[in-house]
Structure 1
């Protein structure tokens, strides 16, 4: 993957994707935390604390090589995205809760993601101080995540009709970007990709399935309604793989770290659909 792609095109593409996310958000989405306090709290605890620990356990159980292990934890620390909203809608989830969780997670991830990544680098990689997310790189994470979201929210507040028209094209662009990013990561590591997929594929699949299960059953056990549990499952089970890939290739300059996110992004659409169908079928039989 050449430097122009990793240093210029990928950050710009991710900025546009995050701008599209901002076009779907408003200040009311943050205030909605008060409407779903229990669901939001449970989902955030799962996203910020439970999933990184679960991911660490999976990484150790599968004995992943150091950089693939860090890439898995980078993925675990990445927030959800607008795709979760679509899946939640398809399978009877509370989309308003999804939007709220996406908004809150995107803000919190700016602070929690560098912590998780640096801890993972310190545990798995020697000389981690030289490649970690230092302050200047944390500022870059802030710039590529929150600044475009803020601009998108500003556009929506000033020109809601324009923002609504742009949601579809930006969503399509997001899918195209994801495909190109994954293709770029695969092309860069084409000589090693079969081995990476063989090693990281099972771990990524296990983490995906556990994420969906935790996202659904933790809120259910906490007494949260079914539609809110479905929303939490999709938010927690569908990570922003594009963000993880961009951070790995652009800020950490390591394509190998991007492989777990690329693998995860390929499989999550199918597993999330299967999980949503299973949950909806069980709910229908219970009626």
Structure 2
């Protein structure tokens, strides 16, 4: 894909704004919860950083996905959660503090783990041609568009708390609108491949979402955390940052075909969370 103003400046710039909005909702106590609630946080980190990528790899192999779709699926699994998971946790009356903590910590860790996993995935699935991918430039890019804006947002939150809380909903809406715009652009650019591969991609994306959500619940049960924390882990492990996955594919790797899976996932990722929210509400409203 040729470099354009959109891929090189607008796309990273808007995502940086979205990450700044995430920072507006964070403070230092969100990181200290690793000490206060270590079991739930550690289980969530293991689920997102290890089990989710392994599950995505198994799905890609099981469905015998084309290399572009398989790599796209792995990019999704390599990304951290986003503000969407925090919003869903709030709606589900789950442990919002745990959700925010996991999002914050994985955002930092994924600056290192995401490029490594993508590098492995490209080497594993794309053996017919060479794909230009740089670990260093991707890590630096993630640092610039994710970590630095989050830190700036946290600094603004610390100094102007009321203004930051008022501004946060705007950035949440920006994140949703921007993701839908990206999905539309990718769908148009790769319409020929999408028309052919859509049934398989849809099934893969839905399986990743629902399967990862279920894995989160299983991990919570095995680790004996509370039911409320279990719902949170299901949401966090099952809901990844599709916008970031699209940016990595389109801007860093310059392979829009890799973004097809992320675009479809951006729509299907609400399914697992919706089922979980409905189940959670039915339990909370059930007569004793």
Shift of 1:49: 0.7
Q: Structure 1 286/44 Cα, relative in aligned 2: closer, same or farther at 3 Å? A: farther
- Name the counterpart of 2:138: 137
Q: Does 1:120 align with 2:82?
A: no
Normalising by structure 2, we get a TM-score of 0.95
In the alignment, the residues of structure 1 paired with residue 38 and residue 197 of structure 2 have an alpha-carbon distance, to the nearest angstrom, of 40
In the alignment, the residues of structure 2 paired with residue 286 and residue 43 of structure 1 have an alpha-carbon distance, to the nearest angstrom, of 31
Cα pair 1:122 1:128 within 8 Å, conserved = no
Shift of 1:185: 0.6
In the alignment, the residues of structure 2 paired with residue 86 and residue 123 of structure 1 have an alpha-carbon distance, to the nearest angstrom, of 35
- Farther-moved stretch of structure 1 (222-231 vs 267-276): 267-276
1:211-230 matched pairs, under 5 angstroms: 211-230=212-231
CA deviation map 1:21-50 (0-9, x unaligned): 011011111011112100001111111111
- Name the counterpart of 1:55: 56
- Name the counterpart of 1:179: 180
In the alignment, the residues of structure 1 paired with residue 35 and residue 64 of structure 2 have an alpha-carbon distance, to the nearest angstrom, of 41
In the alignment, the residues of structure 2 paired with residue 70 and residue 92 of structure 1 have an alpha-carbon distance, to the nearest angstrom, of 34
- Farther-moved stretch of structure 1 (14-23 vs 265-274): 265-274
Unmatched segments (≥5 aa) in structure 1: none
In the alignment, the residues of structure 2 paired with residue 280 and residue 212 of structure 1 have an alpha-carbon distance, to the nearest angstrom, of 17
- Name the counterpart of 1:27: 28
Aligned residues: 287
In the alignment, the residues of structure 1 paired with residue 220 and residue 35 of structure 2 have an alpha-carbon distance, to the nearest angstrom, of 16
1:7-46 matched pairs, under 5 angstroms: 7-46=8-47
Q: Does 1:269 align with 2:270?
A: yes
1:210-249 matched pairs, under 5 angstroms: 210-249=211-250
- Farther-moved stretch of structure 1 (214-223 vs 203-212): 214-223
In the alignment, the residues of structure 1 paired with residue 129 and residue 116 of structure 2 have an alpha-carbon distance, to the nearest angstrom, of 13
What is the SS of the residue equivalent to 1:192?
A: helix
Q: Does 1:99 align with 2:107?
A: no
In the alignment, the residues of structure 1 paired with residue 73 and residue 38 of structure 2 have an alpha-carbon distance, to the nearest angstrom, of 29
Normalising by structure 1, we get a TM-score of 0.95
What is the SS of the residue equivalent to 2:191?
A: coil
Shift of 1:278: 2.2
Cα pair 1:205 1:264 within 8 Å, conserved = yes
In the alignment, the residues of structure 2 paired with residue 220 and residue 90 of structure 1 have an alpha-carbon distance, to the nearest angstrom, of 22
- Name the counterpart of 2:6: 5
Shift of 1:82: 1.4
- Name the counterpart of 1:80: 81
Root mean square deviation, CA, Å: 1.7
